[in-house]
A and B are shown apart, each in its own frame.
Chain A
Amino acid sequence: MLKKHNNKPLLHRNSHVSVEPTSSPGHDTIPVKNRSDAETATGSTARLSWGVRSDVGLVRSHNEDSFLVRAPLFAVCDGMGGHAAGEVASSIAVQTLADQAPLEADDVLLGAAVEAANAAVIQGAAEGKGKIGMGSTCTCLLIEDDRMAIAHVGDSRLYLLHHGTLVRLTHDHSYVEELVDAGEITADEARVHPSRSVITRALGSDPDMYADHFTLNIATEDRLILCSDGLSSMVEDSEIEAIAVSSTTPQAAADNLVATALSAGGHDNVTVIVVDVIDDGLEEQRRKKRRRTILYVTAVALVIIAALVGLLAAYVQSSWYIADHNGTVGIYHGVNYTVFGLNLSQLDMTTTVETSDLPQTVQDDLDRGIMMNSEDDARKTIESYRAQIDQEKTDAAETAGKSTEGTDTSPDNPATPEGNTTSSSTSGGE
């Protein structure tokens, strides 16, 4: 019976496994903890977490490998030259890399740093440090956000474990690799080929040597494995994949890989750097972009709204209208609208012109407000109203006078003596 929950069971969410897991029983490995002639380094930043183990192996007496862990820069150098000269060469290379490496993931500059390391090894040999003819391989990577720059020379390898699948990113500069490329031998035969340790390019021999360099994208949860040939010549890639994917922390992965190399024989020095990408920074970039977009859209919207309001204000400021004001005609500044409870007009001046004196059609228009081009126009219109009203009043008075003459027995002008009638007619005739 199977019950599949979409969410993690609530009961167990916070009870994280506190004890560091060990490898499952039933697999024989040599314990690497507490081995002498071994070096380890563990660390982490907000973006990366890493673990390193460097072991002399079971056959050699010196560890000629050097490693550099200066996050986000990681490098493995496998020295050669015998009688401690290899150690000198690889430490010179690591030192130079640390000084010359760029700050950002630029593979051209990183390649230049490797070439500078080459010059430093040659110069060191000439100055009497180590021995003439000493050399070193060099594989380094520099991680910046979701990109990494890689530069390498020799047969130290870089692997990428992406979602449970191991990919080899570097191409060995070795004789057997050339044979494999040419199709003369298979990759399995290369591991046991008599000339498997012949490398075709290394630091310390050719002043004009150039480094292979390139840039790749990485993602959160990717695991990078830098190793010297002490691992890759002893352990098959499929085994490296199986061990890398079965290790919880980078340090556990490095330890397990070294242990496997030792149980496979440990013929050479083994150095493994494992780097986990905790956060590739893409999420942060996306957040930043979204914030920028929101800011931009808001700014544009604000500008449009401001332009509209400005346009409206300018229009309101420049318009006039006349309308009824408590029974008289008033001149208003603005437009006869109310927007969100805000009256867009104010009374500029009142007049003595009574609206009731005006014709009905004009009264109706005044109720809505009559638009004017300017204040002068408004005054002129009101003056014309006044003149019109006066004219009408005069006309009305005249008409009244005439009608008075005609109808003697009207209720307003009851029949009066002759003299009165004459006087009234005289006044009407004025």
Chain B
Amino acid sequence: MIDLVLFIGRILLVALLYIFLFVTMKTGIGLVRGQRKDAAIWSIDVEKGPRALRGLHVDILGPVVMGRSPSSDIVIDEPFVSATHARYTLQGPALVLEDLHSTNGTLVNGHPIDQPVTLRDEDEVQVGDAIMRVSRR
């Protein structure tokens, strides 16, 4: 009788082990699935700029900082570009461009910006000599 109880206990332990394995597998699948994100709404293409940046296409999925500093997300290595020059952020569905108090300013469609602006499809952003085109999916 005691042996039977111990046997049942053993079976239960094995069952528990399998349940644990199953849950782990499910969690793993969930993690993999969670990583598959929708494509970005906004992206920018570099139209004119230093050779290293030419033809660059960046999907904006989070904040993107431009500047001369190597820690910037997009490094524009030009003399007229500040260390951290400007930043793209997503606010709601909108793409916002903010000048980070750069020395020579940031131009949108040829106009310097003095406060954050929401960008539209086909807008032209100029930082130093680099010109970027905003596009929406």
- A163 contacts partner chain B, Cβ-Cβ < 8 Å: yes
Within the complex, which residue of B9, B56, B92 is in contact with A308, where a contact is CB–CB below 8 Å? Answer: B9
Asked whether A164 lies within 8 Å of B120 as measured between CB atoms, the reply is no
- Chain A residues with CB under 8 Å of B47's CB are none
What range describes how many residues of B lie at the interface?
A: 35 or more
Query: Taking CB as reference atom, which chain A residue is nearest B123?
Result: A24
Asked whether A164 lies within 8 Å of B87 as measured between CB atoms, the reply is no
Query: Taking CB as reference atom, which chain B residue is nearest A9?
Result: B65
Asked whether A24 lies within 8 Å of B120 as measured between CB atoms, the reply is yes
CA distance A252 to B56 in the complex (A): 31
Stretch at the interface among A92-100, A195-203, A240-248, A384-392: A240-248
- A249 contacts partner chain B, Cβ-Cβ < 8 Å: yes
Which parts of A173-211 form the interface with B (CB within 8 Å)?
A: none
- Chain A residues with CB under 8 Å of B113's CB are 24-25
- A107 contacts partner chain B, Cβ-Cβ < 8 Å: no
- B102 contacts partner chain A, Cβ-Cβ < 8 Å: no
Within the complex, which residue of B73, B75, B93, B117 is in contact with A24, where a contact is CB–CB below 8 Å? Answer: B117
Asked whether B109 lies within 8 Å of A24 as measured between CB atoms, the reply is yes
Known: A1-B53, A9-B63, A19-B116. A315 touches B108 (CB 8 A): no
- Chain A residues with CB under 8 Å of B96's CB are 17, 21, 248
Which parts of A332-365 form the interface with B (CB within 8 Å)?
A: 335, 337
Known: A2-B58, A3-B72, A9-B71. A245 touches B5 (CB 8 A): no
- Chain B residues with CB under 8 Å of A34's CB are none
- A311 contacts partner chain B, Cβ-Cβ < 8 Å: yes
Asked whether A247 lies within 8 Å of B117 as measured between CB atoms, the reply is no
Contact with A along B30-55 (1 / 0, CB 8 A): 00000000100110000000001100
- Footprint of A on B, CB under 8 Å? 1-2, 5, 8-9, 12, 38, 41-42, 52-53, 56, 58, 62-63, 65, 70-75, 77, 87, 89, 91-98, 108-111, 113, 115-121, 123, 136-137
Known: A27-B120, A315-B2. A17 touches B89 (CB 8 A): yes
B28 to chain A, nearest CB (A): 16
Asked whether B108 lies within 8 Å of A24 as measured between CB atoms, the reply is yes
Within the complex, which residue of A13, A221, A242, A311 is in contact with B120, where a contact is CB–CB below 8 Å? Answer: A242
A196 to chain B, nearest CB (A): 27
- A223 contacts partner chain B, Cβ-Cβ < 8 Å: yes
Known: A17-B116, A26-B109. A164 touches B65 (CB 8 A): no
Asked whether A245 lies within 8 Å of B73 as measured between CB atoms, the reply is no
Minimum-distance CB pairs A-B, first 8: A26-B109, A164-B41, A25-B111, A21-B116, A248-B91, A24-B117, A248-B94, A1-B52
Known: A3-B75, A9-B73, A308-B9. A276 touches B92 (CB 8 A): yes
Asked whether A164 lies within 8 Å of B73 as measured between CB atoms, the reply is no
Query: 12 A-B residue contacts at CB 8 Å?
Result: A1-B52, A3-B74, A9-B65, A17-B96, A21-B115, A242-B120, A242-B136, A243-B120, A245-B41, A248-B96, A248-B118, A308-B5
CA distance A9 to B71 in the complex (A): 9
Within the complex, which residue of B8, B42, B75 is in contact with A2, where a contact is CB–CB below 8 Å? Answer: B75
- Chain B residues with CB under 8 Å of A315's CB are 1-2, 5
Query: Taking CB as reference atom, which chain A residue is nearest B1?
Result: A315
- Chain A residues with CB under 8 Å of B108's CB are 24-26
- Chain B residues with CB under 8 Å of A243's CB are 120
B53 to chain A, nearest CB (A): 7
Asked whether A25 lies within 8 Å of B109 as measured between CB atoms, the reply is yes
- Chain A residues with CB under 8 Å of B118's CB are 21-24, 246-248, 252
CA distance A126 to B58 in the complex (A): 63
CA distance A242 to B38 in the complex (A): 19
Known: A2-B58, A247-B94. A21 touches B117 (CB 8 A): yes
Asked whether B53 lies within 8 Å of A164 as measured between CB atoms, the reply is no
A305 to chain B, nearest CB (A): 9
Asked whether B38 lies within 8 Å of A4 as measured between CB atoms, the reply is no
CA distance A163 to B37 in the complex (A): 11
Within the complex, which residue of B65, B117, B121, B136 is in contact with A23, where a contact is CB–CB below 8 Å? Answer: B117
CA distance A312 to B94 in the complex (A): 66
Within the complex, which residue of B75, B115, B136 is in contact with A1, where a contact is CB–CB below 8 Å? Answer: B75
- Chain B residues with CB under 8 Å of A5's CB are 73
Query: Taking CB as reference atom, which chain B residue is nearest A297?
Result: B19
